[in-house]
Chains A and B, each alone.
Chain A
Amino acid sequence: GNSVTQMEGPVTLSEEAFLTINCTYTATGYPSLFWYVQYPGEGLQLLLKATKADDKGSNKGFEATYRKETTSFHLEKGSVQVSDSAVYFCALSDRNRGSTLGRLYFGRGTQLTVWP
């Protein structure tokens, strides 16, 4: 089946520190991979995505590389800011089920708090 496992939080960092949030997945077929971010009181926002092996998704200084050999999609940022404080979710979609199905499988989320 399809599932996502991401590192448990909370993660607490000082401003300008390096961030890594680990994500591994299990999937049938060839999934697309995503990182979503959820700020307090808001809905999920797509942060970045990668649709095939070795693709790198990037946005707002965040990066993640689709690693098929290790079934991983770790999120990284070189220098975090206080405004990055949020919950981060790793997710996958199963393209074998048809491109029109809007089904994502999410990890449990990792709470990130950045202190000034």
Chain B
Amino acid sequence: ETGVTQSPTHLIKTRGQQVTLRCSSQSGHNTVSWYQQALGQGPQFIFQYYREEENGRGNFPPRFSGLQFPNYSSELNVNALELDDSALYLCASSPPGAGANVLTFGAGSRLTVL
């Protein structure tokens, strides 16, 4: 098992810019979820992708969008960055039918917005 890998590990952007974060799912996992973890807080669910379509979304504005590719890798895109978008972004994958009962998390991408 290779686990879930995310890139980049750290990045710095300025307000108004756009960012793309990448995630490679664990082998055999076909569902990917993204979470935002602000400093000192628990992770907050952004959305989930299954079969290349979004099939669940938390309380995040449309400027947060994603993609899932046929190989189950995924991207998180954030447009018009705001200072409050500074956080650790976590990707998690799960095998078919397991849902939240089996989630494997990556180490995250830490985004700083100046």
Contacts and interface: CB of A to CB of B under 8 A. Distances in A.
Interface residues of A, number: 27
Contact of A49 (B4, B31, B33, B101): B101
Contacts of A51: 101
Given A104-B43, A109-B42, A43 B105 contact: yes
A44 interface: yes
Interface residues of B, number: 29
B99 interface: yes
Contact of A103 (B41, B56, B105, B106): B56
Contacts of B97: 99-100
A43 to B, nearest CB: 4
Contact of B106 (A43, A49, A105, A106): A43
B42 A99 contact: no
B108 A32 contact: no
A24 interface: no
A44 B43 contact: yes
A32 to B, nearest CB: 6
A102 B100 contact: yes
Which of A32, A42, A49, A103 has the most CB atoms of chain B within a 10 A radius of its CB?
A: A103
Interface of A: 4, 32, 36, 41-46, 49, 51, 89, 91, 93, 97-109
- Report the 3 A-B pairs with minimum CB-CB distance, sorted nearest first: A106-B42, A93-B100, A43-B105
